Amino acid sequence: MAKRAVSQLDVAGKRVLVRVDFNIPIEQGVEAIASYDQRLRATLPTIRYLIDQRCRVILCSHLGRPGGKEVDALRLAPVGDRLATLLGVPVKCLSETIGPGVEESVASMKPGEVALLENLRFHAGEEKNDPEFAHSIAGLADCFVMDAFAVTHRAHASTVGVPGLLPSAMGLLVQREVESLGQALDIKDENKPLAALMGGAKVSDKIMVLENLLGKLDHLIVGGGMSVTFLKAQGYDTGASSIEEDRLDFAKEVLSRATQLGVQIHLPVDVVVADRFAADAAGVKTVLVNQVPPDWLIMDIGETTARLFAESLGQCKTIVWNGPMGVFEMPRFSQGTRTVAGAMADLNGVTTVVGGGSTAEAVEEMGLMDRMTHVSTGGGASLEFLEGKELPGITALPDA
């Protein structure tokens, strides 16, 4: 059942509390905010919609992990200032989250004005889903809009407490996330073939995603650290790469189930190896998967593999990508990730959905965000969605 969308909520002229996710890496310094403002940009459509509806827009977010007390380095004002620049309208940054001062400021807001409450996690009640804290923030508004997809997998006061107290709906970002990720799970014939391109650090992080997707797939394409365990399960010598001994049986089982189900499996045929896990490793070369030297580590998929993966992706109508193909943070081991991302970006008429924090980061860094159908803003939340889990922050919203 679809959840109520903001367009279906009577917001005109009202005080609207909007949960956003402005949790950007503030530890990089205030000057760096502009380089990490994707999460701010993602909420602009909802904020603009509410401004157009003459709402008093009251934004709330967490930032970092202050652990229930005030931490000056984790104040939201610098983030609010950046938002004001992006939005082109002033944003009133409040120095408190709740209390009489906040109530007064909100009472003096005019239609179309925007305010930002102080960091929700300055109060322990937020993460504990304390009813009293939820009442305090809900009391500021007439209705509630959930637009923080990245925290929908958390049952906090601002994600599940407040929607129980106010007429509520999904914001435009949450709506787009749910529709795009949902499209990958609810696959119709006209959207096939469907491929899952999977990578990242470990099989264990992705077991539930694999379980949930396997039966729907036409192609399972595996790279990254995850593929190393699969290669080992197939009997290859994987050198000094860290593999997950306790996941070898799972990998074998996935391989045999895929065969039974008629899912085509694609694993690396060549890999980039290094003699040390370091950006400046002295020895780096590309070898066939059966020639990984002892004491060397698999760091990326090889060029031939990247080309073959790209070719298989080119045969699909829908692609779900989660997990980089190599240690992409180190430039010399980022080529596999670059090649598959570039190939996906070049496809026309193909739905390309990217989930996972690191994967989204890689796509953003390559400047390919706009050339994918959807890049999720929710790292952990997007994974839980792909696992088929219920997201408490979505469940808490009323049906349409």
Catalytic (active-site) positions: 39, 202, 357, 380
Are the C-beta atoms of 297 and 241 separated by less than 8 Å? yes
Q: How far is the CB of 285 from ligand ADP (least distance, A)?
A: 15
Query: What is the bridge-based pairing of β-strands 270-274 and 264-266?
Result: unpaired
Instruction: Give contact residues for Mg ion (rule: CB under 5 A).
Output: 357-358
125 or 225: whose CB is closer to ligand ADP?
Answer: 225
Residues β-bridged to residue 353: 320, 374
Q: What x/- string results for residues 194 through 223 when contact with ligand ADP is judged by CB under 6 A?
A: -----xxx---x------------------
Please tell me whether residue 369 binds ligand ADP under the rule CB under 6 A.
no
Please tell me whether residue 326 binds ligand ADP under the rule CB under 6 A.
yes
Q: For ligand ADP, which residue of 66, 324, 378, 392 counts as binding (CB under 6 A)?
A: 324
Please tell me whether residue 298 binds ligand ADP under the rule CB under 6 A.
yes
Binds 326: which of Mg ion, ligand ADP, none (CB < 5-8 Å by kind): ligand ADP
Please tell me whether residue 225 binds ligand ADP under the rule CB under 6 A.
yes
Are the C-beta atoms of 241 and 227 separated by less than 8 Å? no
Q: Which residue has the tokens 């699909």?
A: 316
Please tell me whether residue 379 binds ligand ADP under the rule CB under 6 A.
yes
Q: For ligand ADP, which residue of 141, 194, 310, 327 counts as binding (CB under 6 A)?
A: 327
Tokens of 210: 């694999």
Please tell me whether residue 299 binds ligand ADP under the rule CB under 6 A.
yes
Are the C-beta atoms of 320 and 195 separated by less than 8 Å? yes
Please tell me whether residue 224 binds ligand ADP under the rule CB under 6 A.
yes
Please tell me whether residue 239 binds ligand ADP under the rule CB under 6 A.
no
Q: For ligand ADP, which residue of 61, 322, 335, 352 counts as binding (CB under 6 A)?
A: 322
Please tell me whether residue 359 binds ligand ADP under the rule CB under 6 A.
yes
239 or 378: whose CB is closer to Mg ion?
Answer: 378
Q: How far apart are CA 76 and CA 121, in angstroms?
A: 11
Q: What x/- string results for residues 61 through 90 when contact with ligand ADP is judged by CB under 6 A?
A: ------------------------------
55 or 341: whose CB is closer to ligand ADP?
Answer: 341
Order across the sheet with 318-322: list the strands.
Answer: 264-266, 219-222, 194-198, 318-322, 351-354, 374-375
Q: How far is the CB of 200 from ligand ADP (least distance, A)?
A: 2
Please tell me whether residue 357 binds ligand ADP under the rule CB under 6 A.
yes
Please tell me whether residue 378 binds ligand ADP under the rule CB under 6 A.
no
Residues β-bridged to residue 60: 19
Binds 298: which of Mg ion, ligand ADP, none (CB < 5-8 Å by kind): ligand ADP
Q: How far is the CB of 206 from Mg ion (least distance, A)?
A: 10
Q: How far apart are CA 349 and CA 354, in angstroms?
A: 16
Binds 378: which of ligand ADP, Mg ion, none (CB < 5-8 Å by kind): none
Residues forming contacts to ligand ADP in the complex (CB under 6 A) are 199-201, 205, 224-225, 228, 298-299, 322-324, 326-327, 329, 356-359, 379, 383
